[in-house]
Structure 1
Amino acid sequence: MKKLIYTLVLALTTSLGFSQTTIQIDSEIDGDLYLANKDSKQLAIIIAGSGPTNKNGNNPAGVKANSYKYLAEGLKENGINTFTYNKRMFAQMKNQTAKEEDGRFEDNVKDLNLVIDYFKKEYPSIILIGHSEGALVATLASQNNTAVSKLVSLQGPGESIDKTLYKQLTAQAPFFAKSVEDIHNKLRNGEQVTDVPPMLMSLYRPSVQPYLISWIKYDPTVEIQKVKQPILILQGDKDLQVKTDQGDNLKKAMPTATLVTLKGMNHVLKTVVKDDENLALYSKPDVPLHTELVPTIVNFIKK
């Protein structure tokens, strides 16, 4: 039945000139298929970054950049079928069934594998484009998966999340260095922390600690070495969240990967002209993507 519905969707999409179509993967995961070529056996899947980031690249924290939407449209215009999807948490929040304390990092990988399984018969060559945290999700899903033909680590971290958080937090509040390290030591050992300072509670609240414990054990430089497919490591030198040393770390771990640094690109994939306008671009959906982003990914996919 699923394949019959999918065939009908493809037929309808064809008659509409390969427009964007909503696809339901299961009862809680949905996304948009940007169909460019009905005869192509390739499909690019964009995997979102951390938190409640939706299929278009926006989230309630003030990010309204439409980055994934524009990326999918750009790939479609270059003949590449592309799928973007909402995380399971969106349906759960809507249905009021979300339980933060039950979340684990591996859930993201399982859900991506569901998406891959849904499409792999129709598209036996799947390219994963993981953004930020989604890059690690895509890396794990690529390992030993013959349906995945290529991997794009788009502004993906090159160190475990505890190291990233430590740098970010101590840069703003160096006096929290010992508290943060004490918390991380316990999380690394799989222990929950009860004595979290009030100013750090939003990040290390008890309900999110199980997720952090499951995430902290993954070192991207170790995991990327388990990927057998061709890899593109793509980053921007104006990224405030994932610095270029992260991509450099990944390249050192996987010398056969292609590393590209786009001058002027920030974390939401747009061009920064003046440094003081970087954050403002997070909430400007009408600003296009960095001009070299789509061509760089297209060239990697098609070569």
Structure 2
Amino acid sequence: MKKLLLTFAFILTVAYSFAQVPIQIDSEIDGDLYLANKDSKQLAIIIAGSGPTDKNGNSAAGVKANSYKYLAEGLHANGINTFTYNKRMFAQMKKQTLKESDMTFEDNVKDLNLVIDYFKKEYPNIILIGHSEGALVATLASQNNKAVSKLISLQGPGESIDKTLYKQLTTQAPFFAKAVEDIHNKLKNGEQVTDVPPMLMNLYRPSVQPYLISWMKYNPTIEIQKVKQPILILQGDKDLQVKTDQGNYLKQAMPTATLITLKGMNHVLKTVVKDEDNLALYNKPDIPLHDELVPSIVNFINK
């Protein structure tokens, strides 16, 4: 009987050590807590990139890579409690209550602060890992927040979103340069744009313009200078969306930050062996993360 009880206790211990606990932050924000050490006061929170990117790093817009899930599992395997969460929009889309015209960039920051507030009593040592757009969200949430001990900008842009969009669009379609410049000038002044060319309507549709107006207000190189916590700037040299000059801009703005560029890593945190396979990795959920990513983050967290 004693042997049976010991075996049962062992099974419970193993099960607990690999626990992935569903957490409901409020009625619309939910996520997974990868509980690695119940005695630890440390928690890493992964903040998703732009659009409908879910807690696992997948998106209905064409990404199925499980990047955040694998990152959380990798941190968990190294004894670091980690939380990933779904944006509020997922619950609102499910309930059919999502109103795009009411959304602002600051909503993301408010929601991250709700997540931090939920955990900060139990985990007073919180590390924010913001990916892509989420890097700026994490940067803003880190400012003057004593619960946040470290900030990791993972593939985070170093320029404001209007400059990023301009470069991306004019590289593919240089003939739109003037139109894009005119649209951005109005949006940066807080004005709605009515004369959007049909080919640009999907990106600059009226309902998304309030979000873009609120997003364009922030320059990452200015905002990162307001962060007092230790910072890791982590990027990949095969990222098609956030080039390495972006991380370099952040490093120049914040010389005390640590900058790591991983050779061969793309935007979904996978290793690119052949350039022609880069985009294909966005839809290969079984491919593991770049093998230097987790160790780089763990080393920074454990410093």
Q: Does 1:263 align with 2:263?
A: yes
Listed as ranges, the matches of 1:171-186 within 5 Å are 171-186=171-186
SS in 2 for 1:239: coil
Unaligned runs of at least 5 residues, structure 2? 1-11
Letter paired with 1:57:
G
Q: Does 1:97 align with 2:97?
A: yes
Whole-angstrom distance in 1 between the partners of 2:38 and 2:247 = 34
Whole-angstrom distance in 2 between the partners of 1:187 and 1:299 = 41
- Identity percentage of aligned residues: 87
Listed as ranges, the matches of 1:1-303 within 5 Å are 16-303=16-303
* Offset, 1:18: 3.3
Whole-angstrom distance in 1 between the partners of 2:167 and 2:245 = 13
SS in 1 for 2:297: helix
| 1:9 matched residue in structure 2 | none
* Offset, 1:15: 5.5
Whole-angstrom distance in 1 between the partners of 2:232 and 2:15 = 34
TM-score by length of 1: 0.95
Letter paired with 1:91:
A
TM-score by length of 2: 0.95
Letter paired with 2:250:
L
Whole-angstrom distance in 2 between the partners of 1:140 and 1:174 = 33
Q: 1:183 to 1:13 in 2, by over 3 A?
A: farther
Letter paired with 1:180:
V
Letter paired with 2:176:
F
The structure with the larger Rg is 2
* Offset, 1:14: 7.8
Moved >6 Å (runs of 4+): none
Letter paired with 2:223:
E
Unaligned runs of at least 5 residues, structure 1? 1-11
Whole-angstrom distance in 2 between the partners of 1:173 and 1:299 = 42
| 1:6 matched residue in structure 2 | none
Aligned partners of 1:188 and 1:217 also within 8 Å: yes
* Offset, 1:65: 0.2
User: Root-mean-square deviation (CA), in Å?
Assistant: 1.0
Aligned partners of 1:160 and 1:218 also within 8 Å: yes
Aligned partners of 1:132 and 1:156 also within 8 Å: yes
CA-to-aligned-CA distance 1:53-83 (integer Å, 9 cap, x gap): 0000000012000000000000000000000
Letter paired with 1:226:
K
* Offset, 1:17: 3.0
Whole-angstrom distance in 2 between the partners of 1:263 and 1:295 = 14
CA-to-aligned-CA distance 1:16-51 (integer Å, 9 cap, x gap): 333111000000000000000000000000000000
How many residue pairs were aligned? Answer: 292
CA-to-aligned-CA distance 1:110-146 (integer Å, 9 cap, x gap): 0000000000000000000000000000000000000
SS in 1 for 2:207: coil
Letter paired with 1:224:
I
Letter paired with 1:162:
D
Whole-angstrom distance in 1 between the partners of 2:13 and 2:118 = 18
SS in 1 for 2:129: strand
Letter paired with 2:186:
K
CA-to-aligned-CA distance 1:178-230 (integer Å, 9 cap, x gap): 00000000000000000000000000000000000000010000000000000
